[in-house]
Amino acid sequence: MTSPLLPPQKEKFLGDLAHFLQVHCDPVLFKNLYRYLCYRLSAPSALSDVTHQLLRWELDFHDQDRSEALACWRLHLGSSEVCRKVVRSVQEPGVMGRFYDLWMPLKDKSRMAIR
């Protein structure tokens, strides 16, 4: 049943946020959610898309304080491979990452030209 006041996308978003709030309050569900996401979304870009949305919700819960949201992840996920993957998926790329992103298209074009 849809509400006449909210568009369907907004209603779905609020429903997803309500489910995440329930997961956020239960440490076992929280840890299992992130383990599942890291296992299921093995491509870094796919994991990054999902974790960026989860980070936006975490920032809403923690008054837009990024360090507080990351601390919450570290508290709930502990010192683990899952925590490392999740935190790295939302970090901005460093100098080498940006260089790699610029270098790879040039490298691929030169390979295609040689063929």
pLDDT tens column, 2-20: 444 434 555 555 667 888 8
Contact (Cβ atoms closer than 8 angstroms) between residue 77 and residue 83: yes
The whole-angstrom separation of Cα 55 and Cα 66 is 8
Residues 103 and 97: beta-carbon distance below 8 Å:
no
Residues 84-102: what's their mean pLDDT? 81
Higher pLDDT, 80 or 10: 80
Query: Burial, 107: exposed, middle or buried (Cβ in 10 Å; 0-12, 13-18, 19+)?
Result: exposed
What residue segments make up the domains of the chain, in order of their start? 8-114
Is the predicted pLDDT of residue 98 greater than 80, yes or no? no
Question: Are the C-beta atoms of residues 20 and 57 closer than 8 Å to each other?
Answer: yes
Among 39, 25, 24, CA closest to 80: 39
Q: What DSSP element (H or E) covers 52? A: helix 44-61
